[in-house]
Amino acid sequence: DIFGIGSVEPGAVLVEACKEFQHESHKADELIRHVEKSNKAVDQCIEAAGYEFQPANQKLLLKAAQFGKCFLPRYNPESYIHMCQMLRIVNAVKDYKIGIPLTFTQLETMGAGVLIDRLVMRKHYSLAIKIAEFLKLRDSQGKSRILNHWACYKVGQAHVNDVQLAREIHSKLKSDSSVSYSEIANKAFDAGRKKLALQLAQFEVRRSVQVDLLLKLGDNETALLKAVESGDSDLIYKVLLHLKESMPKPEYQVLIRRYTIAQSLYIKYCKINNPDSVRDIYEQEDDFTSQGDTYIRDSYSEKKLETRLSSLVSAQDMYKKAKNDFMASLCEEQHRLLKYQISLEQKYSKNCLDLTLRDTIKFLLNLKEVKLADKLRTEFKVSDKMYWWIRLETLGELKDWIELEKLSKTKKLPGGFEDFVQVCLKAENLDEARKYLPKVKDENQVKYYVLAGLFEEAAQIAVQQKDDEALQNVYHKALSEDRQKAEKVKEIMEVYRTVATNSDRRGR
């Protein structure tokens, strides 16, 4: 309609007005007055440009549309901009070097993505990237995807050297962080170019993807190295378990020894899931102390008593090799104690396995086997003071006050009467505690009377000892537990201070 002979369509008038304006003719003013307030003229020119195949006619119509927009301040320019973009693309692809005779309507129907795919299939990567950037497509749909296709195409060129090709691909893709080197490397591997695939794998920035790729390519050590460098324990475990299944055991152990972090994590894993493997590692390292530690764990985890005993013997041997005399001695003592506990269990049909030495002595004392307890403490060199306290504590728990009183009459007490008071108070027997309180050492009497809750007696003793600080402490302790008793202590304090004041006056 616009280019028809004698056409009076708004678009035709606008085109003529634009031509006259370019020739600086006054007729332009007369023509523009007919369409200056009409959007239709501009719309017709824009639409007509889409149907024109010749770039010259397209430019003429778009120039007319641009001229008409100047007289329509509220006109939305989106359709004009879109048409300019599409026509620029159409003209680019129909160039003889590309050879895709495309119309605007066809491009609108199939979309820019399909056109880019066609360009990629024809190996016109440069133009495809320019179109993607021109339309500001997302990298995943545009540039990155195109570069990925280009790289996959390049790896199929067998005549190009692997090292040279890897450098060329990296130089093109290094500025684009969203490109997947993993996909390209897989293509290279499928094409039988493992060396190229390994070189491309080095450029993958996503560490988990890179590690998976290296494992697939069989570069086990690099995969482990990259996992360790990532600092991701889950990723390290993933590599370790994969290599454990795919490598001979000797090679596997030699490999993980090179990486301290990996070996530590593997040992941690084996302690839970496969303790025997841990011992194998320690044997390779000649780590006798750690071997001893594993045998000690076995001695507690095993159910068979014979195995537990043999584990303790093995642990003792390992500590001797490590020149750790202290631990070796402990293992020897634990071995003797366990054997003794086994015999006690068989004799009395009561469970006493894994008790401490102290609790084993208490076990015998509870059974009234004092002679056996004496023998056991002698064999294990338990100090007199410790054994004495264990006996007192056991009698207190049994509430055997008669036997406790007999012990108090022993000529040489390993401990003081303070121990008797503590045992009685622990059993909540204040009457029994009263028997021994007067026999407590003078310097400790106030303290133990307070422990017994006998605040008045404690205050009287403090007065007798003329200890103002102790008297004050008794009062504060009583105040926090029993206000009535605190009042009585206060009365004692006042009497004491009055007497002390009067004595001072007489002295003057």
Please provide residue 215's backbone torsions phi and psi, each rounded to the nearest 5 degrees: -65, -40
Residue 324 pLDDT level (bands cut at 50, 70, 90) = very high
Q: What is the 3-state secondary structure (H, E, C) of 308-322?
A: HHHHHHHHHHHHHHC
What is the model's pLDDT at position 237? 92
Tokens standing for residue 212: 């998976």
Domain positions in the chain are 286-341, 355-440, 451-508
pLDDT tens for each residue of 166-208: 888 888 887 777 778 888 888 888 888 888 888 888 888 889 9
What is the model's pLDDT at position 506? 58
Alpha carbon separation from 53 to 90, 168, 219, 264 (Å, rounded): 9, 39, 57, 72
Res 392 pLDDT > 80: yes
Residue 313 pLDDT level (bands cut at 50, 70, 90) = very high
Give CB contacts under 8 A, 24+ apart, made by 323-332: 324/289, 324/292, 327/289, 327/292, 331/292, 331/296
What is the model's pLDDT at position 30? 66
Neighbour tally for 222: CB within 10 Å: 17
Res 413 pLDDT > 70: yes
pLDDT tens for each residue of 68-127: 887 777 888 888 888 888 898 888 888 888 888 888 888 888 888 888 888 888 888 888
Residue 6 pLDDT level (bands cut at 50, 70, 90) = low
pLDDT tens for each residue of 337-349: 999 989 998 888 8
Tokens standing for residue 445: 């009497």
What is the model's pLDDT at position 36? 62
What is the model's pLDDT at position 7? 61
The model's pTM: 0.56
Residue 312 pLDDT level (bands cut at 50, 70, 90) = very high
Q: State percent of the chain over pLDDT 70.
A: 93
What mean pLDDT comes out for the span 405-422?
A: 86
